[in-house]
Amino acid sequence: MGRDSPEHRDHRDRSRHHRAKRYRSESEESPKRRRKRSYERDSRKRDSKDHHRPKERNERDHNYDPLQKEDKKETLDDYINFLNKQHEEEQNKRKGIKPGENPDEIVKEEPCFEPSGILAEETNKVNGVVLKFTEPLNAREPDRKWRFYCYKGDEELPTLHIHRQSVYLVGKDPRVCEILCENPSVSGQHAVIQFIESVKQADDVENSEVIDIESKPYLMDLESTNGTILNGEKIEAARYYELRSKDILNFGHSKRDYILMDGGKIGEEEEEM
């Protein structure tokens, strides 16, 4: 077939027609379509080069998937083993087992059925504050008019009546303390005045019938920082001390004197002091 033959001219005309048509279609494309075609062409070129191949991920990476590697060397069994190993590591992490430890050799802690104290702590709250003490079962409201006469040096302070409830907390926390002492040496919950039921019996041993039940005041230091003073002597913490009329109390390094006095039985006329 010569260059001037009719078949050659038809082939040449068809080729020119297709090139012209392709040029017109590319020129009429939108810029977005051209950018997409250019990106796809560049992507094929990058994928054809070895130095652009993605690096293999570490098997410790949770996103690692052997089936996504280009060399396809891992089989389905390897992939399943990898998932099982990953699941086992997560379970050991939740149980607190460190890597490299044998779960069979770890000594399991025996169950403890003793009270944890959490429930008692929740029930022993006042205004959201956990109290440092718990009232005893034999706590009882006083039946006598107990009161504190307070002095700071020669200055007389307001009298504190402590016969309207069974317990009075001493400290500088106004949320829980009935007897406030704002001295810096006084703890938030420093001490407690607790009224406890006491049975009064006859002096005769043979005739030991119960004569009366009364409520007596007791003092306990709540393990304060600077301690509690009773009649000039520092008392032991976390221990009840019976109080009597005319006892003098001091809390921390405060100069206030709290003098306890008995005003007589409730409902009767006050005795003269």
Q: Is residue 45 assigned to a domain?
A: yes
Give the strand order in the sheet containing 210-221.
179-180, 167-171, 191-201, 210-221, 241-242
Tell me the C-alpha distance between 95 and 89, whole Å: 10
Phi, psi of 42 (to 5 degrees): -65, -35
Return the number of other C-beta atoms located less than 10 Å from residue 75's C-beta. 11
Q: Can you give the CATH number for the domain in which 241 is found?
A: 2.60.200.20
Kindly give the pairing relationship between strand 167-171 and strand 179-180.
parallel
Which pLDDT score, from 0 to 100, does residue 87 have? 83
Are 137 and 258 contained in the same domain? yes
DSSP letter (8 states) at residue 152 = E
Q: What angle do CA 268, 178, 225 make, to 5 degrees?
A: 130
Number of residues assigned to the chain:
273
| C-alpha 134 chain-centroid distance | 23
Q: Is residue 103 assigned to a domain?
A: no
Are 81 and 139 contained in the same domain? no
Query: Pick from 94, 125, 143: which residue ends a domain?
Result: 94
Query: Is residue 35 helix, strand or coil?
Result: helix
Which pLDDT score, from 0 to 100, does residue 27 have? 57
Query: Pick from 94, 118, 149: which residue ends a domain?
Result: 94
pLDDT tens string for the chain (273 positions)?
555 666 666 666 666 666 665 655 555 566 767 777 777 777 766 665 544 455 554 444 555 555 555 445 556 777 778 888 888 888 878 777 777 766 666 556 666 666 666 655 667 888 889 899 899 999 999 999 999 999 998 999 999 999 999 999 999 999 999 999 999 999 999 999 999 998 876 555 555 565 678 899 999 999 999 999 999 999 999 999 999 999 999 999 999 999 999 989 987 754 444
Q: Is residue 220 assigned to a domain?
A: yes
Which pLDDT score, from 0 to 100, does residue 40 have? 75
Number of domains in the chain: 2
Are 90 and 144 contained in the same domain? no
Are 171 and 88 contained in the same domain? no
Are 147 and 241 contained in the same domain? yes
Q: CB-based contacts of 259: which residues, under 8 Å, 6+ apart?
A: 148, 149, 150, 151, 246, 247, 248, 249
Helix (H), strand (E) at residue 129: strand 129-130
Q: What is the largest CA-CA distance in the chain?
A: 153
Are 88 and 137 contained in the same domain? no
Q: Is residue 118 assigned to a domain?
A: no
Tell me the C-alpha distance between 235 and 170, whole Å: 15
Q: Is residue 111 assigned to a domain?
A: no
Q: Is residue 128 assigned to a domain?
A: no
Are 70 and 168 contained in the same domain? no
Q: Is residue 117 assigned to a domain?
A: no
Q: Tokens 């407690």 correspond to what residue?
A: 192
Are 167 and 254 contained in the same domain? yes
Query: 227: phi > 0 → left, psi -120 to 50 → alpha, else beta; which?
Result: left
Query: Pick from 94, 116, 151: which residue ends a domain?
Result: 94
Q: Is residue 169 assigned to a domain?
A: yes
Are 87 and 159 contained in the same domain? no
Are 75 and 161 contained in the same domain? no
Are 82 and 138 contained in the same domain? no
Which pLDDT score, from 0 to 100, does residue 200 have? 72
For residues 142 and 217, the answer to whether their CB atoms sit within 8 Å is: yes
Are 89 and 137 contained in the same domain? no
Phi, psi of 218 (to 5 degrees): -130, 150
Taking Cα atoms as reference points, which of 243, 262, 245 lies closest to residue 163?
262
- Boundaries of domain holding 55: 6-94
pTM exceeds 0.75, yes or no: no
